[in-house]
Amino acid sequence: MALLSRGLRKWVAGENLDNAIERVKKLNFDGARGMVNFLGENYENKTKVEETVEEYLKLIEKIASERLNSSISIKVSQIGAEIDEEYCRENLNKIVEFAHKNGIFVWLDMENSPFTQLTLDLYLQIFNKFQNIGICLQAYMRRSITDLKKLINTQAKIRLVKGAYHEPSDIVFRSKRDINDNYIRLMQILFQKGDNFAIATHDTYIINQALKLKKIYAKKKFEFQMLLGVREELKDKLTKSGFLISEYVPYGSDLWQYCWRRIREHPSNFGLVLKSLIA
């Protein structure tokens, strides 16, 4: 078990908060930002949820006291969405309010479809009180264009991703081509009507399209976001060209579901994990 965890470490900063902070310091030194996630999801028990909320408060305090350039990124299912909506809202409010006091930005990850509407509702409720919160939208979801148009009118801060979960065919685009086309359609709307958004992908074709849009909408502020352990050379190249990069930095021991999504995205990663076990 410990050996397999070691093989998965390429996508994770380490087991504890200090490991994540070390990674953020390195990113800041290299001119990039961090976006730290404490691993864990689908908690059905309040003890786990409360430990998670406490961990995020400690994390916010540490980022602020060390004056690091980093946001945090959280999942509603790790702070009570599986237990009770009101309970989840209270937890999210507590984290975002504390982050607000400390000048830290909070991203809401988007999980699988049973959580989509709840995540959007919670986002809008909290965003009414505190503006240091952003939300992720998934280009594979057919509903995302409608969600984007509604969110953009409220000046929401949006991170656009392709989408990482297995979903029923009727609610998502399935083929790589359809997902990419929809990503580009949504990205064009972000450039035309949004601001302060995030293009979260490692896909060179989409990044090149974003660079073209940036030439047309030169005043728009946006950043590229990528995952720890993926396409390091591309992050470096974009940072050196003067673009803002935030790296998603997960840490903790609850790493299976996160790493499984990385393997599913690129099954060749499975071979790499196996290789690292015998290396």
Binding residues (CB under 6 A) for ligand FDA: these are 109-110, 136, 138, 161-165, 200-203, 225-227, 230-231, 248, 262, 265-266, 269
Nearer to ligand FDA, 101 or 236 (CB): 236
**The one catalytic residue among 109, 121, 143, 177:** 109
Q: Measured from the CB atom, is 120 or 227 closer to ligand FDA?
A: 227
From the CB of 80, what's the least distance to ligand FDA, in Å? 18
Q: Which is nearer to ligand FDA, 40 or 163 (CB)?
A: 163
Q: Which amino acid is at 139?
A: A
The least distance separating ligand FDA from the CB of residue 234, rounded to whole angstroms, comes to 8
Query: CA-CA distance, 156 to 151, in Å (whole number)?
Result: 6
| For ligand FDA, the closer CB: 61 or 118 | 118
| Token code pair at residue 18 | 């200090």
Residue 49 CA, chain-centre distance (Å), reads: 19
What is the Cβ-side half-sphere exposure of residue 6, based on CA atoms within 13 angstroms? 9
Parallel, antiparallel or unpaired: strands 157-161 and 33-38: unpaired
Least distance in angstroms from the C-beta of 56 to ligand FDA: 16
Closer residue to ligand FDA in complex, CB, 132/201: 201
Query: Is 178 noted as a catalytic residue in this protein?
Result: no
Contacts of 23 (CB under 8 A, 6+ apart): 13, 14, 34, 228, 247, 249, 251
Shortest Cβ 209–ligand FDA spacing (Å):
12
Contact 124, 94 (CB under 8 A): no
Residues 23, 33, 159, 262: which is the catalytic one?
A: 159
| Least distance CB 109 / ligand FDA (angstroms) | 3
**Min dist. Cβ of residue 131 to ligand FDA (A):** 20
Question: Which residue, among 209, 181, 202, 180, has the nearest Cα to 262 in the 3D structure?
Answer: 202
Q: Nearer Cβ to ligand FDA, position 61 or 188?
A: 188
Residue 159: active-site member? yes
Q: What is the largest CA-CA distance in the chain?
A: 52
What is the set of active-site residues?
109, 159
